[in-house]
Structure 1
């Protein structure tokens, strides 16, 4: 099982960051059939073979994900896409 951990600073308010993550989550649900659920300031996501959380801190976004056997070989590609999206929304 491979894991991904990424931290990105941000300067948004909690509500602005929450709105951005909501937009990203909608895209994840549409494109990857991921189930999402907010738990306070963390968005849990899951689908067969992938699970994780996007946590909104006061000045940082933290993404953690666990990849099952089928997705482990794609770790670098998935991590690059997450980094690109974070840069796009939080740079």
Structure 2
């Protein structure tokens, strides 16, 4: 079996890292048909993911993401491509800066 291990340091803090991990899990479910479970903890969160031929975890802390995946025999042949896609997706999510907060605008009543 092929293993994938990815670590990314960050300075986001746990609250922002949690948002990114949750978004990553949503994308994994939608794009790769993964079944993901998200467990929040006091100092770290754990995203477990699985589908036929792959299983793993994404551990999230205030300063690091750590992904470990185990690929089955058939997917092991595509290890490099799978790892590249995971890295690209995670790095893209980490790189996105939160939009600056705008002052709350009052809604105008609808006109007919």
Taking structure 2 as the reference length, the TM-score comes to 0.76
| Among 45, 61, 77, the residue aligned to 2:49 | 45
Partner in structure 1 of residue 61 of structure 2: 57
Q: Could you say which structure has the higher strand fraction?
A: 1
Larger RCO of the pair (alpha carbons < 8 Å, separation 6+): 1
RMSD: 1.1
Where do 5+ consecutive residues of structure 2 fail to align? Answer: 96-112
Aligned counterpart, 2:24: 24
Structure 1's consecutive aligned runs of 4 or more residues displaced over 3 angstroms after TM superposition are none
- Counting helix residues as a fraction of each chain, which structure ranks higher? 1
Give the TM-score normalised by structure 1.
0.92
Q: Structure 1 stretches of 5 or more lacking a match?
A: none
Contact 1:9–1:90, Cα closer than 8 Å, also in 2: no
May I ask how many residue pairs the two structures share in their alignment?
Answer: 91
